Structure 1
Amino acid sequence: MSDQIGQSYRNYSEEKIKKFPFYLKLNHNLSLLFFDLNEISYDEFWEIIDNPNIQIPQKNYVIIDRYDDRLPMYELNHNPFTPELNSIIEEKYHLVEKYSKTQKDFKTDIFEYINSKTPKTVVLYLIDGLSYIDVANLDIDKVFKKITPVFVNGKTNTINGFKNIIYGYDDILIAKSLYYLGYDVYGLTYWNRAKNKTTDELFKYIPENNIFTHEMDLKNIIENNPYKKKYIQIYRMGLDEDAHKIRTTNEKLINDKINEIFENIKKLVEFLGRINESFIIYVISDHGIKWDFEKNYGKGAHGGISFEECFVPLIIIEG
């Protein structure tokens, strides 16, 4: 892919490239970090050009936000969300964060949608340990085909990842914010709050009587309250337990586990679809896992800086 950009350079004289940028179409802005390119906004560039007292720095600038016919246009068909990202992620960590949708952005996206659509049921499905790449490479049901890579702000561990998601930038729990918008708040988790610090942190604003351990209890609440707005927060184990405890795992076992998780989510989608009310389900993970199938021990790990650990999947299902 760098040869493709290089060819584009060669098609445009070296002298002009040093003085002027070109317009560039990208699949994702993160691709800029793989090449010797510097982004400049359309307005900023033409303001500099139109002002004779300002000299543009000697850099390989590209404009990606607006286009016209005053500069040459090139397209770059590049997917930045592959293990190739490991070659730059540590060196350019904060730039990777800048160009990505992040866990902390997630809460803002939720409330923009809710304020415009006001769905009757909002489900946040939290999965402990699931990489974007593991899901993106899997042949899963078409219900889940639209998968967005989301960057983990900071440490790639469970408590930090989930706090990024449910607190966002304003440090107010999603459950609390939705309660003040008129939503009844409920939870579903395997783990007792008193015995699990993470569960207690994630569900602290949800009343104890509204937290269930069995899906049927939650389904009864949904069916028996058809006219009320409901927020449901579900906390499920993903692949984190396998990474820590199981030392003989392989790609097939991992894929089987992911399929099992999504089969469970599909049943929830089908259940909500049978109820005559609007809903939206957000599926997201706290962190990814870096697998090492070449070793007998330490098969899966998280807590470091890698594409596999830092990018988790976001799937949104509307009904």
Structure 2
Amino acid sequence: MPTIDEVVAEAKLHPVEVDVPHTLSYLFLEDYVNVFHDGDVLESYLNNPSYEFNKNVVLKTQSDVGVGSQYPKLKLDHSPISPLLNNIIAEKYDRLSDHLITQRDIKSQILQRVTDETVVVLLIADGLGYDDVLGTQLEGEPCLVNGPTITPVGYQNVVYGRDNTPIIDELINRGFVQVRGYSYWDESTYNDLNSKVFENFHEVNRVRTTEEILEDLQKNPIGDDRTYIQISRQVLDRQAHDGKEIRTSDHEHEISKLNKDIGQLNEILEEQVDSHLIVVTGDHGILWRKDFEQDMQIVSTNGKSSMRYAGQQIGFDGGAKLIDAFDSTYTVFDYPYAASSFDADEAGTHGGLSYYESLVPLHFRGSRW
């Protein structure tokens, strides 16, 4: 299959029709060629002697409208869901949602899938990027984080969606009369956020491990009433910040443990109810030191920001984007810019825009999945 360079070379000679593995690839191609999505429109421009193309080449993308056999069809060899995304993520950030599910779409994705399930479980993992689960059972579909890749924004994106109504309200309206909440946050961490994320929960159980959740479900089985369970679980965020040296095996162990926990939860629900749906996603990914340090460019903000973002609008000499999220404006740094170097005991960071930080998985499991 041809690469982008080879497609561009072919398109210099004549229009070509290109099939892509993911429509994100068109955002890369348009830097080199004119991209048309409609064959009739392309033909009209080609036949118009007064029209001047703004690039040296023309590309006809695949569409339902054929342009005729005179144009060769090529299948592009390109993987945009990869670190290549770092090349366009800030510049074309506002258009990525045309090609990817975003975090604020997750609520609607769940509601679209809910039919007659007795139980729906939403597990939001603190620190779980799409790249972290790539090739595992948890891979699912990549979702774009709306805004800075930080815990308060990510959790609220998932729970409140696009209409700022918590998912619990939507499910109660559908007959989910019982609710259970489990959160790893204690009263000293994210207490205000915990109140927002678990709004309208009568009680939230503070837990340290998933085993406590599984034990509670076995001691207090789900009854006949439809039940919504929401879980906040620590995954990789602590590894990024807790000051310990992180090995690949540590990382893999955490992902394996999460997958095992989801499997056990699935088994318990299979025993207790006729049908259920488990949804797993993350609040943000992690830009690991091992992937970032050799590329990073440090630009000082005179102490006005964190390493990868600022909680306000600031001047920044590196690449950055202003993004509004939940009544605040953030200055979010593009890859590979940072306002400081890693501390000696830091294994990772997050907050900015990158393939590693800005894509989280959306994984479904249950009676029908």
TM category (shorter chain) comes to: 0.7 to 0.9
The alignment status of 1:167 with 2:160, answered yes or no, reads yes
In structure 2, the residue matched to 1:203 is: 198
Which residue of 1 is the match for residue 24 of structure 2? 30
- For the 8 Å contact 2:119–2:275, the answer to whether it is kept is yes
Listed one character per residue, the Cα deviations across residues 79-107 of structure 1 (whole Å, up to 9, x for unaligned) are 21112222222333223343221101111
Deviations 1:215-260 (A, max 9, x none): 2333445x341x3211111110011112111331122211111211
What are the equivalent positions in structure 2 for 1:18-57 lying under 5 Å apart? 22-35=16-29, 36-42=32-38, 45=41, 55=51, 57=53
C-alpha RMSD over aligned residues: 2.9
For residues 212-251 of structure 1, what are the structure 2 equivalents within 5 Å?
213=207, 214-215=212-213, 216-221=215-220, 223-225=221-223, 227-251=224-248
Q: Distance in 1 between matches of 2:246 and 2:157?
A: 29
Q: Distance in 2 between matches of 1:261 and 1:253?
A: 13
8 Å contact kept, 1:126–1:286: yes
Give the Å deviation of 1:73.
Answer: 2.2
1:317 alignment partner AA: R
Amino acid at match of 1:236: R
1:113 deviates by: 1.5
**Deviation (angstroms), 1:5:** 3.6
Of residues 45-54 and 94-103 in structure 1, the stretch that sits farther from structure 2 once superposed is 45-54
Q: CA separation of 1:145/1:23 partners in 2, compared to 1, >3 Å: closer, same or farther?
A: farther
Letter in 1 for 2:111: F
Aligned twin of 2:272: 275
SS in 2 for 1:29: coil
* CA-CA distance at 1:198 after TM superposition: 2.3
For 2:241 and 2:7, the matched residues in 1 are separated by 47
Distance 1:146-1:310 versus aligned 2 partners, 3 A rule = closer
Could you report, residue by residue, the CA deviation over 1:172-228 in whole angstroms, capped at 9, with x for unpaired residues?
0001111111112221123356862222111011112x646442333445x341x32
**Larger helix fraction of residues:** 1
Aligned residues: 303
Q: What is the match of residue 122 of structure 2? A: 124
Q: Distance in 2 between matches of 1:204 and 1:219?
A: 25
Contact 1:97 1:153 in 2 (8 A): no
- What secondary structure sits across from 1:99 in the alignment? coil
Does the residue aligned with 2:120 lie in a helix, a strand or coil?
Answer: strand
1:288 aligns with 2:288: no
- C-alpha displacement of 1:132: 0.8
- 2:284 touches 2:359 (CA, 8 Å); kept in 1? yes
- Secondary structure, counterpart of 2:3 in structure 1: helix
Structure 2 alignment gaps of length 5 or more:
294-341
1:172 and 1:57, CA in 2 relative to 1: closer, same or farther beyond 3 A?
Answer: farther
Structure 1 distance, partners of 2:34, 2:171, is 40
Shift of 1:145: 5.5
Q: TM-score, normalised by structure 2?
A: 0.73
Aligned AA (1:160): V
The separation in 2 between residues aligned to 1:291 and 1:240, in whole angstroms, is 11
- The yes-or-no answer on 1:134 pairing with 2:132 is yes
Give a deviation string over 1:288-313, Cα, whole Å, max 9, x none: 00111367533110011111000111
Counterpart in the other structure of 2:306 = none
User: Which residue matches 1:257?
Assistant: 254
1:48–1:55 contact (8 Å) kept in structure 2:
no
Return the offset for 1:29. Answer: 0.8
Q: In 1, are the aligned partners of 2:222 and 2:272 still within 8 Å (CA)?
A: no
Instruction: Please state how far the C-alpha of 1:38 moved relative to its aligned partner.
Output: 4.8
Q: Secondary structure at the match of 1:317?
A: strand
TM-score (norm 1): 0.83
> Among the aligned pairs, what percent are the same residue?
30
CA distance 1:276–1:175, shift in 2 (3 Å): closer
CA distance in 2, matches of 1:303, 1:243: 12
How has the CA–CA distance of structure 1 residues 48 and 207 changed in structure 2, closer, same or farther, with 3 Å as cutoff? farther
Counterparts of residues 144-163 of structure 1 (less than 5 Å): 144=137, 147-163=140-156
Amino acid aligned to 1:186: R
Distance across 1 between alignment mates of 2:11 and 2:237: 50
Determine the C-alpha separation between the residues in 1 that align with 2:242 and 2:138.
30
C-alpha change, 1:42 and 1:69, in structure 2 (3 Å) is: closer
Deviation of 1:44 after TM superposition, in Å, equals 7.1
